[in-house]
Amino acid sequence: MKKFTTVNDIGNLDQAVKEALEVKNNRFGYSDLGRNRTLLMVFFNSSLRTRLSTQKAALNLGMNVIVLDVNQGAWKLETERGVIMDGDKAEHMLEAIPVMGSYCDIIGVRSFARFEDKRADYDEEILEQFIKYSGRPVFSMEAATRHPLQSFADLITIEEHKLTKRPKVVMTWAPHPRALPQAVPNSFAEWINAADYDFVITHPHGYELDPIFTQNARIEYDQDKALEGAAFVYAKNWAAYTDPNYGKILSTDRSWTIDSRKMALTNNAYFMHCLPVRRNMIVTDDVIESDRSIVIPEAANREISAQVVLKRMLESLK
C-alpha cells in the first residue's frame, strides 16, 4: 500500500477487517517487519488518540518513530507557490516535505480543514503535497475531508459488536461550541456505505454533507425518527458544508444532544463517538457512561487500524 487516504485504498473491506482481527489477536507477530524502518508523524493539529495509537502500532511492528508538531518548534510553513516570502513564514512546504521524506520510510500527516477556502480544503492541498513531494508512502491521520484511520477503527468496532449482518447504523449531528471539520462524518459515511449497512444520517437543515460521501444513505431531518430501531448511534458535530455557509455554525440546539430518552428510541443501540467529546453538548454523562457506550473499545481499535495500514505499507516497501 503506497497511500492511505480514502476507503478505496484499503481494498476489500471483509479482508481488511479479517486482517485487523488477526493483528488484534497477535499484535507482536510482525515485530520484525518494521526493523530499521522509520515512521514520521507530522501534526499540523492537536491529537491524543491518533498520536498515541499510531505510535503504538508502529512500535508493535518494530519501527522507529519520529513525531513533528509543525506548530511547536518547527519553522512556520508557506503552503502557496509563488508567494513572496517576506512575512512570518520562514520555510516553504516544497523544501520541507522532501526534507522530511529523506529522514523516514513512511509518513503520516494530520492536517485539518482550515475553513478559509473550501476548494483548498476539499482538494486536500496539504496532504496531496506530501503525496507528491515526499517520495514516501503517505497515510492520513485526519486530513481536510476524511479521517480514514478513525473510520476503519469504527468499522472494526461495529463488526465486533453487531448482532445482525446488516445492522441499522445512525450517524447523528449533535451540537458543539466550535466549528468542526466534516472529515469524520464524511469518512464515516464513505466507509459505512462501502460496508453496505442500513445507514441513516440525521442532522438539522443546512448541515447536508457532500453527496460524494453520503451517496445513497437515507437522510432524515427528524432525529427521533432516525433513531428508531438503531443498533448503533454514531454522534458527531460538524460545521456546515454547503455554500454560502461553509465552515459556519448554524445551530447549537441542545435538543439534538444524545440523552437517555433518545437512546430509548433505539433498539438498545450502542453509542459511538470518535472522541474527543464534549459531554452534555454531544452526549449526556449517563449515556457515555452507560454499558451501551463503546467509545473506549472504539478508541482502542485505533491501534489496530493503524497497525494494519502500517503493516501493509511496510510489506510494500520490501
Is 314 an interacting residue with respect to ligand CP (CB under 6 A)? no
Cα separation, 271 vs 273, whole angstroms: 7
Nearer to ligand CP, 133 or 191 (CB): 191
Q: Which stretch binds ligand AN0 (CB under 6 A): 14-22, 81-89, 175-183, 186-194?
A: 175-183
48's contact among ligand AN0, ligand CP, none, with CB below 5 to 8 A by partner kind, is: ligand CP
Among 158, 180, 288, 309, binds ligand AN0 (CB under 6 A): 180
Comparing C-alpha atoms, which of 126, 201, 153 is closest to residue 57? Answer: 153
Is 247 an interacting residue with respect to ligand AN0 (CB under 6 A)? no
Task: Name the residue with cell 432516525.
Answer: 226
CB-CB contact of 37 with 65 (8 Å): no
Beta bridge partner(s), residue 69? 43
CB-CB contact of 79 with 129 (8 Å): yes
Is 48 an interacting residue with respect to ligand CP (CB under 6 A)? yes
Window 249 to 308, contacts with ligand AN0 (CB under 6 A): 274, 276
Is 274 an interacting residue with respect to ligand CP (CB under 6 A)? yes
Nearer to ligand CP, 148 or 168 (CB): 148
Comparing C-alpha atoms, which of 128, 152, 143, 220 is closest to residue 182? Answer: 143
For residue 162, what is its C-alpha cell?
453487531
- Tell me phi and psi for residue 173, to 5 degrees: -65, 145
For residue 298, what is its C-alpha cell?
472504539
Nearer to ligand AN0, 182 or 266 (CB): 182
List interacting residues with ligand CP (CB under 6 A).
47-50, 142, 150, 274-276
List interacting residues with ligand AN0 (CB under 6 A).
142, 180-181, 183-184, 274, 276
